[in-house]
Structure 1
Amino acid sequence: MPLSKTELNHADNFLYYINKSIKQKGYMLYQSGGVRYRYFDPDTQNLHFQVKGNVEESYQVQINLSLSPEPDFFSDYDEEEDSSCECIYFEQELECKHVAAALYFILHNKKSDFKKILSDEPKDQKSDKITAFPISIPCSLEEMDKFHELIPDDPNNNYYDANLKSVKFLENGIIYYVSGYSYMDELSVTYDEGQVTINGSIKRPHLVRAGLKWLKIRFEGKDKRELGLLTREQREKMILMEVEEMGLKEQLKDPLSAMDFVLHDQRIIMISSGELNGLVNLDQYKSNFTHYLNQAKIKSLGMGSFQDTKEVDIGTYNVAFAFCYNQWGSFTEIIPFMAKGSKKDPEAFSVKFERLDDPHDIRLKRNQDLERILFLRDRFQKSLLNKSSMNPFDQFREFYIAAKEYPLFVFKGFQYETHKIRKAHFDKPLEAFKANAQLLIDKGGVIYNIRTIIEFGDNKYDLAELQDQIIFTQVFAVYKNQALLLFDSERLLKLLAFQMKNSFIQVLDKEFDQYFKHILLPMASFIEISDKTGTLKESENPGPLQKQLYISELNGLILLRPQVKYAESAFSNPLEQSTIIDADNKAIYLRDEDYEDEYVEFLRKLHPNFKNAGSQGLFYLNQDSFMKDLWFFKAFEKLKSEQVRVFGLEKIKIKKYNPFPPAISMEFGSTQDWFEVSAKVAFGDQKVKLKDIKKALDRDQEFVELADGSIGVLPQEWVKKFSKLFRSGEAEKEGLKVPKTLFHVLDEFEEAQSFPEVIRELEEKKAKLAEFTQIKTAKIPKKLKAELRKYQHTGLNWLNFLQEYQWGGILADDMGLGKTLQMIALICKLIEQNKKAKVLVVAPTTLLFNWRNELEKFAPHLGYFVHHGNRSDSLEELSQHQVILTSYGLVINDLPLLQQIHFEAIIADESQAIKNTQSQRYKAITKLKGKVKMAMTGTPIENSLAELFAQMNFVNPGFFLSFKSFKDNYLKPLKNGDREILSELQHKIKPFVLRRTKEEVLTELPDKTEEYLYCVMKPAQRKIYDAYRNEYRDYLLKKFEEEGAENSKMYVLEGLTKLRLACDATNLVQHTEAANESVKIEMLLEHILEKTGKHKILVFSQFVKMLALVQEKLEDNLIEYAYLDGKTSLKERENVVQQFQQDEKKRVFLISLKAGGTGLNLTAADYVYVLDPWWNPAVENQAIDRCYRMGQEKHVIAYRMICKDTVEEKIMQLQQAKSKLAKEVISEGDSFLGALDRESMLALFE
């Protein structure tokens, strides 16, 4: 029997939906004989075809003509597919030429009896095919070489090409993340006691077989060695072999962390990490680098797109959105478009219509929130096509709220015309109305008449009269292409679409009871009912009302459906518009809207996720949110106090809580360096280990899962105690050990009173700590050639106290307060006490001459040696000196030599240089041997609190245990604004950090004024800047999409650097304009020549090329100047500073911010210009303080030069937030600035 007319119509309609060019390719493929019909499957109703391919020899295509091509938006989502093909194009686009060719085959062979043609394959062969994961294969580790032979293979399945994106190692297996089948899929291979299991996220049978094929081919080749990495034991064995082969096994503290396995160029390879991080295969590295040099090309940013736009078009186009329907009247997409207005009405849509692609098109009159709106439009589009799990109704509401300031139209053309739109496609914009509906019941004789009434604005319409005037979609309705009707309830909208064919019905009197029971009652839950017949009698509420909440579980979600009980069989859902009908006596109760609104408001406050939810008549949470922080316990207590009856909780598969309070006993002990703590915790007869409590608290849970499956709730008091203990202690077997520098942590444990030895030691420690506020006055060393100020003597007292107890500290005084002098005083004191003592001072290279001068000035009796330049490589020679001065770079290079000396003290100047724990500087300096370690810095925190960890860990090793511990215990909570943790951290570091500001101690210093000097770009410079900004913004949007915001920060920094250069001078960037401009240089010269008189001026820039441009202008104007950048040698540096300080003719000093921001004393200057502010205010403050320090007698004026309406203004705002960062921990402060997120980064390019 041939295909039915309906089935042929479906084939025709399927073909209609396919893209025109794909249809043409499909027809040519059919004409060339590329389609072979195979068989009909009566179980699935699929017609199976084999179609010739390009990449593969052929593809399997299936067509199901029992399914309608027109989407039914008012029924639940159906996972059945009308067509499928194995080719990759179909996987991505859900259409391809192979499907089109099969459809042409059907339509050109209408009379063929497709359903009688049998398969070429025997049935048993078909049924033997593997169709689903997981698959288990017996195989021992010794047999892995031949494992590929054991993987099942389908000889007809040649499709296996896929890209391996990443891998993840499990305890006993590997997960492969591959793309090429359908977006991103997982394939895992795991081993367990002689059994290998292959699993995956792929569901389609032919793709399951394709995944197996991919693994089979992978394990046939060189990649079969990956099967030797399945277990952790195998991987560790291979690492140890590699390390041993290098001859490094004995030299490494942790050989297992010295190598790691990563994916590179589709292969799993072993790379160096940990202590060997950065170790390279030199031959390979040279080869790669040569290849890079041959391939690398600098891409210049073209100005074409900017120049192609006529100046008259800039800012003249209006934006709107249009709703598009297919030929069946079904809503298919939202089209963004733009058009110009007329002279009479510039806001209209009159001429030059085109589809909108770029939200930052410079022709747009306004683009407020347009990028977000287009994102919401795309997200809605995916939900509409069932390509996401999100609800289209909710997604459209979010789009509409964001886009309601823009006009909305109905597109009157065909769908294929949307790519070339014209004015004729649009009428007037739609007027939006909130809409509702009701059922109106009246009666004539023995017949009930039921009508559906639509209400919006001041209008009421009988739905029966609107048959050709209203279109219902799954998310809204449109009346006469003039009014957009928005309904609160998705269920009501679906009902109205259904009612279009039944908008007026009549029911016999004798059948009304059946209609009432089976139709009217269910409808009443989401539509208002008005009965004019008296059959349903309006009645006053019998009272009292009762709030109810029904809880159920669906696909891992906890659903909470509210209800208000009016009578035994009369209920309302306060989240929906409905009529309350008492089924027993056919009474209609008036809703108590105030009572229901108060109930809904109460429910919304129970959880943040409930705030804007409820459009489907319920709230929902996933199980993690339901359980987090014992939310459900707290919520049910509130429900109980609000007298809400809860139903269904006993059916939820959540763990029950243990009725016993925890019994906690603790033991304390002491060793040379640590306090030892162990604890026993039991809930009734259920015992809990300390490590289990730590795991729970690490997951932010205030409960522990017990062995019997119940939950033990930890009291808040013990949550705080244990949290603080875990933040300070290091896990060891069944207990913890706490560094003795953190003895105050044990103060909170009353249980420690039972251990006298520990208490005695704690009291001793506390007595010592109390002396921090009453530190003994240290005698100033006799040979120190300086008179210490009062605050400097206090600093010496503090430093001396720390070294007596062999504690390290950070001297973090403001720049210019004489930190070097205070530290020299400590060095003198140490050598006064022990003539053989040796002190190492490590500083940036640029500060070594400063230390030399200060030592000669204040402590000429000390024997010092500058280990730099022609340095000594003899231990004997180095050991002859009392003080050794060297740079951070030489500590790295000469570490083996310096490690042989036991120093009395190691001092790190400008210690922010070791803020990165992964840097070679940090790793090298922490390996030196010193009885006490001190750090000096005016900016202990420049960018983030992570810097504090590095410096504290240098002066007091183990103070924060590990960086992971510091990150988990402090950084993450502080990012969330945890004030208690901030207070704890302040208290913890306070004894070891001393910071005084100039305002506190140098009251005799003159005033300092800091101002922003705003510069307005001229048209040519602005044009170049805008072009770079727009191009980088588009580039970043693409990168965010491809690599994610977190992995794209390097591109953000690249873009910011370009924009800052464009702000400085157009000479610094590539462009096609005729001339170069720099408003900053013009304004700077104006200030130097006209506004600063004979004052001396410091000019700082981060860019040496910018300083070179200023140099040219100074020479053109015969202005004498001094110059210093990173290439200036130590000797030249000293000379040029002296020249500027002493020579009255040298009025201007050009300094690169990086080279001259620290270690210079330039009090001859009283004007400072920072040409290109960056978002680290600490660096600029250091630069300004080169002249604002002890010895300055003049009023200092500092200008930061900012180009108006550019990224520099946004950086200025970031600066103001960042300047609080150091104060938050070192003194006081509010919540601190977290990392920039995607929106914050994009905002810099607005």
Structure 2
Amino acid sequence: MLAEVAGEVERAVQRPPIRPSTRTKFQVVALLVREERARTMADASLGPSRRGEQLKRLDGVATMLARIAARDTSLLHLLDDDARVSDGARAYKAQLMRAGGLEVPDEPEPTPPPAPAPTVEKRVIPQSVLSHQLSNPFLAPDYSAAAQRIAVKPRRLAGWELLEPLFRSFEEASAGAPACMPLPEPRFVPLPPGRQLMPHQAGVVAAAAGGHRTFLLADEPGLGKTAQALVAAQVTNSYPLLVVVPNVVKTNWAHEVGMWTPLRRATVVHGDGDTVDAFADVVIVNYEILDRHVGWMGDFGFRGMIVDEAHFIKNKGSQRSQNVLAVSQRIRERIARPLLMALTGTPLINDIEDFRAIWQFLGWIDDTKPLGSLMAALEETELTPADRGFSSAARTAVIEQGIVRRRKVDVVADIPARRVADLPVELDGAIGRSIRAAEAALAQRMVAHYRSAVAARTVGHPARAVDGIDLELVRRVAAAELKDSSERSTGDNVFTMVRRIGQAKAGLAADYTAQLARNVGKVVFFAKHIDVMDQAEQTFADRGIKYASIRGEQTPRVRARNIKAFTEDPEVQVVVCSLTAAGVGINLQVASNMVLAELSWTDAEQTQAIDRIHRIGQSEPVTAWRIIAAQTIDAKIAELIDQKSGLAARALDGAGEQEGSASADVQLEALVSLLTDALKADGLA
């Protein structure tokens, strides 16, 4: 019976999208196979022959499940020991057990959930942090901030409720009123070779170098907020620096630290922080695990703190917001004038109360009143909320605390008309480990072929030995592997690996797309495979983001209707496009941002996708966010595609290569690189 249900699941997986009921069946069959195996092993009444027969049949069902999971790796998380079993899955499991003649155990009475443990019990102190503390046992904490804290006693404004009028002043601003503090002229800042700040970026860095220490940096995505923040930390020597970010961009921040401030070492906090380097200059942590680290981070002595996608803390009642505010308060109490930067692309004029927590993070207000320099600036206006000009003056006072907001159209001269921005992401969990293991197995298979070829060539001919790595032989081995991969559709090869990487990135790419849609409006999402599109659409549906879809199997009428919905309906924020079906012949220039969730094998295919929004009539610079799986072959493929980007231009002069050969070149070079790195790791150089 289990084999029959597994067969139903297998047939359903071959006709995506996969329905929730199919996922439930997959999980229940897996649970019952696991339980039946344990029961069979423990049943003393079974003889060796009968037990072996039962286990063989169960192994057959398990093999079917493995084959299904290989086709759609999103099912793998249902096999985790801690995977959630829904009420529907429990009911279906009981139904199968009864149909199979098994007794269904009574469900235990549901117990009320335990009271949440105090936050302090969840906190950890990584060993590296303890080592850092022990290395400076006599270092006194810096409480100089207490001596420099600005204490302003309200005079004219004593007794007035000020926070609500401050928020309202932004809502009442006249149309087109800029929300950007005056910025000084850019000054020279030493940067790594090949790096250069654009003028709008340099203005923020100059303000920080000139003494400004709190910023609400609300530039639109694509204007380089990360670079501005990191270089500002460099010129103000705000180290150690704490960076709090969404999980999807955690790896990218570490990458950007290496690009913009290569002399500063970054460390990324995972889980309980077992691998964190407390001696690093920049500590990067994601919101989801900050609660475990609030204690030591508040007392560590950070001299700066950056909060990326700061609209994540708009709900002051959430644990996420409370953690961020607790750490920033400790930093402001201990350190004189720390660098505090909140980064968000959300426009300031919408729901300004959402920024209450951000202003509090920056130290501009507390729960009830303006603080320090903001209160002083309000007093200097010599106005009260009852006076006519208070709103305009109050708004200016807040902006000059450090609000910086530029749109792409405002700085169009600074940025290229079209650019590709890589966003490295980390593939965590079982899927990430599986992909890295498959990549290692592929590399070792090629290493074995290489060594066999070397051994065969030198038998009886010692003079044929080559010192180091024989690059010509490497290319021949890689070419043979590529030919073999093209001829077989099973097993781990470069094509199945790239497919699995795309599936693993799908959720992260959709998550980042959702962030972009929240910040800038309409976004185009491109993917190569249907299952990646399905997963993205499910993410958007779960987030309440309205989307349209362009796929190859659609009729012209449906396709036209979906394009019209995206281009004309303001509520449709995302269009999910097939890279092959929507890569040519359509106009999506209502958007200026796109996400490339999967890599193509050629620069031409990537360029065709970008050209759906980078067209005549596009009034804004276009940014294509390319999602790259860090520490996998995905990163090498992206590098090779960029190297091949000149092929299209040369083809126009009649000297270029054909599309097919360009694709094969990237595939071959990726395998060459993988094999070369593996040989170097084995000691051949």
> Scaled by the length of structure 2, what TM-score is found?
0.37
- The structure with the greater share of residues assigned to strand is 1
> Scaled by the length of structure 1, what TM-score is found?
0.22
Q: Which has the larger radius of gyration?
A: 1
- Which protein, 1 or 2, shows the higher relative CO under an 8 Å CA cutoff with sep ≥ 6? 2
